[in-house]
A and B are shown apart, each in its own frame.
Chain A
Amino acid sequence: MKRKVTIDGNEAAAYVAHKTNEVIAIYPITPSSPMGEWSDQWSSEGKPNIWGTIPSVFEMQSEAGAAGTLHGALQAGALTTTFTSSQGLLLMIPNMYKIAGELTPCVMHVAARALAAQGLSIFGDHQDVMAVRQTGWALLSSNSVQEVMDFALIAQAATLESRVPFVHFFDGFRTSHEVAKVEQLDVEVMKTMLPLELIEAHRRRALTPDNPVLRGTAQNPDVYFQARETVNPYYIALPAIVQNAMDRFAALTGRQYKIYEYLGAADAERVLVLMGSGAEVAEETLEELLAAGEKVGILKVRLYRPFASELLLQALPASVKSIAVLDRTKEPGCAGEPLYGDLLTALAEGIASGKAQFKGFPKVIGGRYGLSSKEFTPAMVKAVFDELGGAASKNHFTVGIADDVTHTSLEYYPAFNTEHAETVRALFYGLGADGTVGANKNSIKIIGEDTDNYAQGYFVYDSKKSGSVTTSHLRFGPKPIRSSYLINRASFIACHQFNFLERIDMLRYADHGAVFLLNSPFGVDEVWQQLPLTVQKEIISKQIRFYVIDGYKVAKETGMGGRINTIMQTCFFAISGVLPRDEATAAIKKAIKKTYGKRGDAVVQKNWAAVDATLANLLEVEVPAEATSNFDIRPAVPAAAPEFVKNVLAPMILGNGDQLPVSAMPVDGTYPIGTAQWEKRNIALEIPAWDESLCIQCGKCVLVCPHAVIRAKVYASDKLMGAPETFKSAEAKWKNFPGQRYTLQVAPEDCTGCALCIEACPSKSKTESKRKAINMVSQLPLREPEAKNWEFFLSLPETDRTALNLGQVKDVQLLEPLFEFSGACSGCGETPYVKLLTQLSGDRSVIANATGCSSIYGGNLPTTPYTVNKDGRGIAWSNSLFEDNAEFGLGMRLAMDKHKETASELLVKLASTLPEALAKGLLFANQSTEAGIRDQRARVAELKKLLAGKESFEARTLLSMADSLVKKSVWILGGDGWAYDIGYGGLDHVLSSGRNVNILVLDTEVYSNTGGQMSKSTPRGAVAKFAAAGKPRAKKDLALMAMHYGAVYVARVAMGSNDGHTLKAFQEAEAYDGPSLIIAYSHCIAHGYELVHGLDQQKLAVQSGHWPLFRYNPALAADGKTPFVLDSKAPTVPLENYIYNETRYTMLRQSNPAVAAELLLEAQHDVDQRWHTYEHLAHQSNANFATALQSAACGEKAEGTVNHG
């Protein structure tokens, strides 16, 4: 019996890769990370490969590192693989040339993804694999999840036989993340496909001192060329080898593939050529067109490199008159995209040589589609066929977008539909954390594995991490499903969050007669009036059957808390009728047991209880004949928003970004800032409310707010004129602001409800200890009045910066943040630091941002959080790459310094033409204070006035650089994945540069953005992806390493433990004229606890000695003082009291208590040892410090020092 499994593309690839390799080098990158994660998990669970040994899985510091390791392991004779995508593949290119040049069998699995150009994209296309087509690796394309599993094996067989390495690729997300029912390959099939003698041959070529050879010579003009040509026979032989492997595979499994597979009419005149998941869409469309009697066909290209021209031409019917070649990539300035160019070359050669079977030279056009997972639908396929049929076919076209600039796009008619009538199409709208996607993954598994239906699941996520919307697209039915595109005509729509209705017009996707399931706090009798008018109209006009359930009520009653997944899943089965109710219930319960059983019986029981309680609460609503609602779906942005926001960003917010034409897009990826303020997301159920009678105006709440939604101002009392009725104020408790008012204001529609502010508030009621100066209250009643108050608050003048003491939190709360309302997780531990940075120096800073969480919440469209002050100054922000951020920031510094130097030189030259005081003032300005900077800005403004209109080269040049005379800061931001791992080489170099840059490492001790993979910052004993068995090694001490340069300011801070210390470190880093490194403890959802306790965990991290606070300031040494100041006390809390509040640690105790206990002991030792070292350093005189530091690095204690242990 062939085993059917319902899995996604990544799991399919990883399954074969893990079964057929010995060494696996991994590094996370979306969307390929799950392949590495599966491999690591399976190995940690002791799952063997087909030869009975457990593959060795090793995480590297970058894809470049993974490629190097891959190369090494291959050279040493191991069957080795790796997984990657996008930029990661680009980083592997140098080694790929080597591996291919040395004819080394290997299969690398690539979830193909867009490349970062004008913007980064995590989504799928072929730009990355097209960038390696010249490396000598074979490129084999899988079009579906089944093909991913099959081709992973076929590639493995072909590489061993041919010695040519393979990139096996499939479309990122569309295939890597699509869940489909596939036949799992049997171990015996794998063994048969991979004969031992080929593996032995690979091993015989290994580098070994027992049979030594030399590989990798330096070759000169005399022989390199000839040597390069030696490999030709291997590439000539390869297509036949691959086809042969496919044929052998067919004999074993019954699934026959062709390297170039033609489908369609034998006498087709129009043929479409393409590869990847788009080919499945084309096949679905083809069936429809053939049924209509059209003479059309498609050619699926599976083996793209080597490109077997003759075989490809042979696959085409002789009758073909016109061919359209579709490339899922973009090469600006090319003669045509690669597949198009290759086909054209093949045709030209074939026809010129007389070998081709065509009567004349067919018309050939090429086009681009589907970049960054842009939808590719049957309507678009049809548009291409239609274009081929026309007299004057557009070449170098695009399809799927509206190009109103260079007019490349083909028109298509979205209504064209090829989906089989018997295929059920269901759409589910859920909230990230409500379990909708998980439930749907379970549902599609049930349908796939418990019924005879074909099944497909695809899941679309929000780009924001708080309050994120997920959409699940489920198809199932008796016919094979090739619809690799989103559902746009659904027979079932479920809305799992009632408040989505006022934001998303989801019923526009409903088919006539569809079913609509709504999770509603309102019952059957009252729900209708709570629906927006548009929704009511759609229900009536489409004759939709409407069901409601109060999922949250059932969840609460059955112990499910806020998880409605199981409840809504049960409703879906009950209404859809895919299985008889009893069978469905049994199947859901079985799936629950399977999914959650390992987490304990309690979890299973409560889910089962939820299943049982659901049906009684599921009710059909009698739909009235008329739509009578007095409200409608809210506009995406207010009318007051700028034009760009209204015209470009608002459609994106509404999910209509696909309709934006090319002309709407900035040409170079430059976007206005300050746009997050226009997207009012209203995601918090509760928001903080201020009790001015209890408030001591300390500003701690303002400081810790991750989203800058709680702010304070001090202002003259007369400014309260015209304040809204409910606007609150209190007498300002500042000595230097006598008689002024103080207001603490919340932005009600931007708050995410994390409640960190409440945790930070130190002021408690004397009579009711639970009541603080701010308290969480229900958002809805406050939404309108507080929105008005917020508007009024913004209109109040900002406090004069020069009147504030920026060394104290109480004053810093009054500084305007230039980073607000980001899409970071609710309660994020990173963003308070970023916000603080912008408060202190935001109006004169540029940020170089490493790729990661901070670049996503910092720069993900549609709306972005960095903003400007009333003078129009604010953060200029850019993200280069993951690996090069330190260098990127250094480049900015060099440019600014150079411009300042040039401007200063020109000032000297032009001094005689300028007022003397101005020139001197500009050249010798003291800009160490806010007042100094303000004065210099005034001088620069005056200078610009004087220079305006002058025509001399010097004057014009100075005018263009005048602003560089005002102090500018360069901040280099990133997470620990960047700073400790992939970017460490560059970071190290920049630290050594002596240049004045400020580096902020937002240390979450894990790769947060890509889903929790281990970094070198991950502490010993923590479970992470790639460290499923608990990280066995200690966290790297980046701070200590940086101190060794002696000229780098280094601080380790934790705002939740000591906010004053954090502030001091930021001030000192800014003031230090050289590289500064601040390592900031950032609590993170990947730590596994409610982030409302983030500040407490930060305290415990410090109290336990895990995170000692210190500052190392070389400027102190210059004054003869000890440069290292240890700012936290000796550990007072055992490490376990800190770590066992977090799932990342407790998980190990639950999976392997013995190892957990051992690692805890070692981790406690790490902490003790580090404290000992730091304390020792803190007691050194300046003269002894360098020696002591050296000894610390060697693990010794300097002689002649006092033991303070």
Chain B
Amino acid sequence: MVDLSTSYAGLTLKNPLVVSASPLCQELSNLRRMEDAGAAAIVLHSLFEEQILIESNELDKYLSNLADVSGEATSYYPDLEKLKIGPDAYLEYIRQAKATVGIPVFGSLNGVSEGGWVRYAKLMEEAGADGVELNIYFLPTDGEEDSATVEARYVELVRAVKAQLKIPLTVKIGPYFTSLVHFAKRLDEAGTDALVIFNRFYQPDFDLSTREVVPGLQLSTSYELTLRLHWAAILSGRIKSDIGITGGVHSPADVIKSMMAGGRVAMTTSALIESGVGVLRSMLSGVEGWMEKERYQSVRQMQGSMSQQNVANPAAYNRANYMKVLSSYSVRDLAMQGTK
């Protein structure tokens, strides 16, 4: 019998398979099925601060703009007293989720303003969340803002939120940082308990018939995992935060690789959407079967075993790895020298 348990952001999980934030998490019945299928923890769908703002402002706009324009129609809607605007419905859902499943439940917060982050994170804690995942999703398009400013913004947000929370705080980021290891260390210092890599950014597409930009939403593939493995392996051992890997975890092998790269958990969504919640069960048994076959006793054994620090060939994670593909062994040797 192998030991699948892992620790993540200060929590002990029964295995490393965590369901990441997705619309699937919006149904309580799905949460129960996820737990039954073996999920060790669930990150709920994201609470979008902007969406709350938009919903509020849109509702206000159409209630207000349509009011008092005509003597016959001084309004167009009943101005209801009981509206569930804002985070109330989400917080209620956290409560229900906690009552539904026994595994840890993370709230996920996708925000834009410091006030919103702190306030909503605190509310999630109060609602019973076991942890909060900050999904920092910021597209720096302002040509006047330098990278240091952008990074400082992340760090300050994390610091502000962490100061308010007693429960673990995980931070989900994208891969596009100039010096990711340095940045991750700064997040460490700001109080991150786990770093979740990587966010999959919204990819707009073009509709050629209308020549308009349309939202593009594609499920991840195992191919995308390699980027995560690469950086997890580099970060592993260099930062204090635990590492969670998300994006491209589709198979037992993907889970195993995630662990070996240094991840404490492997998070998956696309696989569930594609193949159903039951896929968790086969992934776990696949991991278990492989471990038994390869005589691994515990997941913890394998965690970080192939990080840059722990592999025989650290240059495999460097630029030289690319050159190898192109040329010959001599290049590899050159690179080896470079790393020593």
List of B residues within 8 angstroms of A438 by Cβ:
64, 67-68
Q: A603-B57, A1143-B77 are in contact. Are A598 and B71 (CB under 8 A)?
A: no
Contact check: which of A41, A563, A764 meets B64 at CB < 8 Å? A563
| Of listed B65, B67, B73, B85, residue having the most chain A CB within 10 A | B73
Give the distance in Å from the alpha carbon of A599 to the alpha carbon of B63 in the complex: 9
Identify which of B55, B70, B72 contacts A600 (C-beta below 8 A): B55
| Inter-chain contacts of B73 with A (CB < 8 A) | 1008-1012
A41 near B86: Cβ-Cβ < 8 Å: no
**CB-based contact B71/A461 at 8 Å:** yes
Determine the distance from Cα of A1047 to Cα of B186 in the docked complex, in whole angstroms: 78
Inter-subunit contact A598/B52 (CB<8 Å): no
Check A194 for interface membership: any CB of B closer than 8 A.
no
Q: Output the nearest chain A residue to B54 by Cβ-Cβ distance.
A: A602
A344 within 8 A of B: no
Interface centre among A468, A602, A1008 (most CB of B within 10 A): A602
Q: Tell me, yes or no, whether B294 is within 8 Å of chain A by CB.
A: no
Q: Which residues of A contact B55 (CB under 8 A)?
A: 600, 1146, 1150
Produce 1/0 per residue, B50-87, CB < 8 A to A.
00110111111111111111111111111111111110
Answer whether residue B89 sits at the interface, using C-beta atoms and an 8 A cutoff.
yes
Chain B residues, CB < 8 A from A1008: 73
Q: Is A1088 interfacial (CB 8 A cutoff)? A: yes
* B66, B72, B83, B86: the one within 8 Å of A1151 (CB): B83
Among candidates B72, B84, B85, residue contacting A30 with C-beta atoms closer than 8 Å:
B72
A122, B71: Cβ atoms under 8 Å?
yes
* Interface: A549 (CB within 8 A): no
* Cα distance A1153–B81 in the bound complex, in angstroms: 15
Q: Is the CB of B68 within 8 A of A470?
A: yes
Contact call A602/B70, Cβ cutoff below 8 A:
no
A203 to B67: give the CA distance in the assembly, Å.
41
Alpha-carbon gap, A1085 to B55, bound state (A): 18
A1150–B78 CB distance below 8 A: no
**Cβ of A764: which chain B residues have Cβ within 8 Å of it?**
211
Q: Is the CB of B86 within 8 A of A600?
A: yes
- Is B74 within 8 A of A1011, CB to CB? yes
Query: A67: shortest Cβ distance to chain B, in Å?
Result: 22
The number of residues on chain B lying at the interface, defined by a beta carbon within 8 Å of a beta carbon of chain A, is 37
Q: How far is the CB of A1100 from chain B (nearest CB, A)?
A: 14
Q: Choose among B57, B68, B81 the residue that contacts A432 (Cβ–Cβ < 8 A).
A: B68
Judged by a CB distance under 8 angstroms, whether A45 is at the interface is yes
Q: Which residue of A lies closest to B80 (CB)?
A: A1151
A500 to B84, CA, bound (A): 39
Given known contacts A31-B71, A461-B71, A602-B53, A1012 and B80 CB-to-CB distance under 8 angstroms: no
Grouping DSSP codes into helix (H, G, I), strand (E, B) and loop, the B interface class, with mixed when no group exceeds half, is loop
Give chain A residues whose Cβ lies under 8 Å from the Cβ of B58.
1143, 1146
Interface set, chain B 73-132, CB cutoff 8 A to A: 73-86, 89
> Would B70 and A598 count as touching, CB distance under 8 A?
no
Question: Judging by beta carbons under 8 Å apart, are B78 and A433 in contact?
Answer: no
List chain B residues, Cβ under 8 A from A1153: 84, 89
For A464, the closest partner residue in chain B by CB is B70
User: Are A1086 and B52 neighbours in the complex by a CB distance under 8 Å?
Assistant: no
Residue of B80, B84, B212 with highest tally of chain A CB at under 10 A = B80
Name the CB-closest residue of B to A1148: B80
Partner of A41, one of B71, B74, B76, B78: B78
- Do residues B71 and A173 form an inter-chain contact, with CB atoms below 8 A? yes
Interface pair A435/B84, CB less than 8 Å apart? no
Say yes or no: A1028 contacts B76, CB within 8 Å.
Answer: no
Encode B252-282 as 1/0 by CB contact (under 8 A) with A. Answer: 0000000000000000000000000000000
Which of B59, B79, B211 contacts A1150, CB < 8 Å?
B59
Interface code A446-478, partner B: CB below 8 Å = 1, 0 otherwise? 000000000000011111010010100000000
Closest beta carbon of chain A to B55's beta carbon, Å:
7
Q: Which of A31, A44, A596, A1010 contacts B78 (CB 8 A)?
A: A44
B52 — which chain A residues lie within 8 A by C-beta? 600, 602
Contacts of A1028 in B (CB 8 A): 78, 80
Cα distance A1025–B76 in the bound complex, in angstroms: 7
Interface contacts (Cβ under 8 Å), in number, total 150
Interface centre among A33, A462, A1147 (most CB of B within 10 A): A1147
Q: Is the CB of A122 within 8 A of B76?
A: no
Contact A1147 B59 (CB under 8 A): yes
Q: Are A1143 and B59 in contact (CB under 8 A)?
A: yes
Is A1023 a contact partner of B77 (Cβ separation < 8 A)? yes
When distances are taken between beta carbons in the complex, the residues of chain A under 8 Å from B65 are: 433, 435, 563
- B residues less than 8 Å from A748 (CB atoms): none
A603: which of B56, B75, B84 is its contact (CB, 8 Å)? B56
0/1 interface trace, chain A 107-122, chain B, CB 8 Å (1 if under): 0000000000000001
Point out the residues of chain B lying under 8 angstroms from A41, CB to CB: 78-80
Q: Hey, which chain B residues are within 8 Å of A1147, CB to CB?
A: 59, 77, 80, 83
How near does chain A come to B167, taking the closest CB pair, in angstroms? 23
Q: Which residues of B in the span 204-220 have a Cβ within 8 Å of any Cβ on A? A: 211-212
Whether A1088 pairs with B62 at a CB distance below 8 angstroms is: yes
Per-residue interface assignment for chain A, residues 436 to 452, with 1 indicating a CB less than 8 Å from any chain B CB and 0 otherwise: 11100100000000000
Q: Write the chain B residue with the least CB distance to A559.
A: B57
What residues of chain B lie closer than 8 Å to A437, measured between beta carbons? 67-68, 74
Bound-complex Cα distance A493 to B134 (A): 51
A1144 to B53, CA, bound (A): 18
Q: How far is the CA of A34 from the CA of B76 in the complex (A)?
A: 11
**Which one, B66, B74, B86, B211, contacts A1085 given CB within 8 A?**
B66
Give, as a whole number of angstroms, the nearest-CB distance from A33 to chain B. 8
Docked Cα-Cα span, A461 to B67, in Å, equals 11
Q: Are A1088 and B68 in contact (CB under 8 A)?
A: no
Q: Smallest CB–CB gap between B24 and chain A, Å?
A: 16
Nearest A residue to B84 by beta-carbon distance?
A: A1150
Which of B69, B77, B82, B84 lies in contact with A1025, CB distance below 8 A? B77
Judged by a CB distance under 8 angstroms, whether A550 is at the interface is: no
Task: Indicate whether A739 reaches chain B with its CB closer than 8 angstroms.
Answer: no
Chain B residue with the shortest CB-CB distance to A563 = B64
Check: A125 CB closer than 8 A to any chain B CB.
no
Neighbouring A residues of B64 by C-beta, 8 Å: 435, 438, 563, 565
Minimal Cβ-Cβ distance residue in B for A47: B81
Given A468-B69, A563-B64, are A1012 and B76 also a contact pair (CB < 8 Å)? yes
| Assembled-state Cα–Cα distance A1085/B66 (Å) | 7
CA distance in complex: A1176, B22 (Å): 38
Kindly report which residue of chain B lies nearest to residue A606, judged by CB atoms: B57
Residues on B with beta carbons closer than 8 Å to the beta carbon of A1085: 66, 76
| A1024 and B64 alpha carbons, distance in the complex (Å) | 15
Q: Which A residues from 1060 to 1105 make CB contacts under 8 A with B?
A: 1085-1086, 1088-1089
* Contact status B77-A1144, CB under 8 Å: yes
Q: How far is A459 from B67 in the complex, measured between Cα atoms in Å? A: 12
Please give, as numbers and ranges, the residues of chain B lying within 8 Å of A1012 by CB-CB distance: 73, 75-77
Q: State the Cβ distance, B211 to closest chain A Cβ, in Å.
A: 5
Are A598 and B81 touching (Cβ within 8 A)?
yes
Residues of chain A within 8 A of B60, CB atoms compared: 596, 599-600, 603
B213 nearest in chain A by CB position: A769
- Verify if A561 is at the interface (C-beta below 8 Å from B): yes
* B residues near A433, Cβ cutoff 8 Å: 65-66, 69
Q: Mark A403-440, 1 if CB is under 8 A from B, else 0.
A: 00000000000000000000000000000110111100
Contact B77 A602 (CB under 8 A): no
Q: Cβ of A749 < 8 Å from any Cβ of B? A: no
- Indicate if A37 sits at the interface (CB-CB under 8 A): yes
Q: Which residues from chain B contact A459 at a C-beta distance below 8 Å?
A: 68
In the complex, which residues 544-573 of chain A have their Cβ closer than 8 Å to any Cβ of chain B? 561, 563, 565
Q: What are 5 A-B contacts defined by CB distance under 8 Å?
A: A41-B78, A433-B65, A1012-B76, A1088-B62, A1151-B83
With A602-B53, A1150-B85 already in contact, 12 other A-B pairs whose C-beta atoms are closer than 8 Å: A122-B71, A438-B67, A465-B69, A561-B61, A599-B63, A600-B83, A1011-B75, A1012-B76, A1028-B80, A1146-B55, A1147-B83, A1153-B84
User: Closest 3 A-B residue pairs measured CB to CB?
Assistant: A600-B56, A1011-B73, A432-B69
Residues of B within 8 A of A (CB): 52-53, 55-86, 89, 211-212
